[in-house]
């Protein structure tokens, strides 16, 4: 099913590129700083987003095969965008347009000897692509840097697609906590906070409240008033809907001042604690 979602966002990306073509703009060719394939990266991000959106909705763990599929979808989308450009390339009054006006480019000859096939259309792009340089939004030069350079930029664009597909997974899956038993991510619910120095008492108290669902609810309803400029613990319930397991984690939060005198809250992972809890409490 995740492949269907990926195919949908891939087609959506191709459609968006077609819309941009109507305004004589190609997002996939956008390279700020000349050698930064930002347009390809964005397209790769968009076309692979369906895979990770499905995984996030279903709370599934992303595996190597999903990342591999995102790269494959990025490569296929890259290829189909150029085929879409060829398919929509029509000639009217001696100019190529992508609005289906005039005759299709395949009715014309490439170099006066060959039919304008998809392969020859790509060769034409590599031979005639002009690199536009701008400074502060003003065009400073328009140069055709040759077949070899344009081919290098095409490969760089493809790399941007692949990196975008992989980056999408990193962004979508960041911060997710997975259950080791069933490989789905935990549901989370913040419980309460308490001052530093009371962790053993709190753990003992919450364990005693496991006797019944009602006693646990009463225990977590209290939320101690704490000063946010001192270290404190934050208790969070995390539970798995698939294998019916639950845990309470205690995160140690402290504050520090930045260079501009702003208070920044950080987590000390060395003081992180977690205890297993009965699923009945959820």
The mean per-residue pLDDT over the stretch 262-268 comes to 72
pLDDT for the residue 144: 63
Find, among 247, 245, 156, 234, the residue nearest to 195 by Cα.
234
| Whether 196 contacts 231, CB under 8 Å | yes
The 10 Å Cβ neighbour count of residue 137 is 5
Euclidean distance between CA atoms 188 and 11, whole angstroms: 34
Please state which of the ranges 75-79, 96-100, 137-141, 193-197 shows the lowest mean pLDDT. 137-141
Does residue 224 surpass a pLDDT of 60? no
Q: Which segment of 84-88, 118-122, 244-248 scores lowest on mean pLDDT? A: 244-248
Q: Distance (Å, rounded) from C-alpha 111 to C-alpha 55?
A: 49
Q: Please give the radius of gyration of the chain, using alpha carbons only, rounded to the nearest integer.
A: 28
pLDDT the model gives residue 281: 63
């Amino acid at each position: 099913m995740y492949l269907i979602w990926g195919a949908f966002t891939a087609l959506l990306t191709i459609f968006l590129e077609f819309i941009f073509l109507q305004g004589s703009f190609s997002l996939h060719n956008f390279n700020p700083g000349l050698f930064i394939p930002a347009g390809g990266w964005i397209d790769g991000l968009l076309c692979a987003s369906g895979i990770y959106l499905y995984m996030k909705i279903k709370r599934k763990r992303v595996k190597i095969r999903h990342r591999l599929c995102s790269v494959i979808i990025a490569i296929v989308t890259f290829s189909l965008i150029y085929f879409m450009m060829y398919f929509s390339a029509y000639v009217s009054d001696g100019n190529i347009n992508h609005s289906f006006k005039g005759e299709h480019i395949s009715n014309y000859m490439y170099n006066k000897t060959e039919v304008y096939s998809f392969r020859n259309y790509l060769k034409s792009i590599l031979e005639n692509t002009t690199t536009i340089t701008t400074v502060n939004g003003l065009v400073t030069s328009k140069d055709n840097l040759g077949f070899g350079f344009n081919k290098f930029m095409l490969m760089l664009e493809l790399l941007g697609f692949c990196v975008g597909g992989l980056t999408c997974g990193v962004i979508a899956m960041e911060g997710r906590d997975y259950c080791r038993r069933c490989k789905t991510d935990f549901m989370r619910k913040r419980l309460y906070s308490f001052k530093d120095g009371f962790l053993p008492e709190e753990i003992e108290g919450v364990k005693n409240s496991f006797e019944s669902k009602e006693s646990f609810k009463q225990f977590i309803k209290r939320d101690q008033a704490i000063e946010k400029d001192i270290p404190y613990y934050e208790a969070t319930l995390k539970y798995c809907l698939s294998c019916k397991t639950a845990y309470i984690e205690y995160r140690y939060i402290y504050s520090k001042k930045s260079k501009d005198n702003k208070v920044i809250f950080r987590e000390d992972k060395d003081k992180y604690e977690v205890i297993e809890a009965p699923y009945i409490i959820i």
